[in-house]
Amino acid sequence: MIIRYTNQYEGRADEITALLHQSYAPLAEKGMRYLASHQNSEKTLERLREGESYLYVLDEKIVGTITLRSHV
C-alpha cells in the first residue's frame, strides 16, 4: 500500500533511514556517496518534510519511499 507521509510516521525515522542506507549501499560501495547512503534519522525527517513524500508499506513494514520536490 502506498500512503502519504505524515508526522505519525516520525517515530519510524530510524527504520526509514536504515532502508535508505541499505538501498544506497551498492552505490556507496562504488564511490557514489549520495546523502541517503549515510544521513542520520534527523536528516531523513528533514528531507521527508521538504516535499510531498510517500511510503510504500507492505505487511506493516516500510519497503520504499519517494519524495517529490519542486526545484523551480
Give residue-wise pLDDT tens across range 4-25.
998 888 899 999 999 999 999 9
Express each pLDDT in 40-65 by its tens digit.
Answer: 999 999 999 999 999 999 999 999 99
- Put simply, whether the predicted model's pTM sits higher than 0.85 gets the answer yes
Query: Which range of residues forms the domain containing residue 29?
Result: 2-68
pLDDT of res. 70: 87
pLDDT of res. 62: 95
Question: What does the CA dihedral 41, 37, 5, 51 come to, rounded to 10 degrees?
Answer: 100
Place of cell 551498492: 26
Residue 56 near residue 72 (C-beta atoms within 8 A): no
pLDDT of res. 19: 97
Looking at the 3D structure of the chain, how many domains does it have?
1
Residues forming a β-bridge with 57 = 62
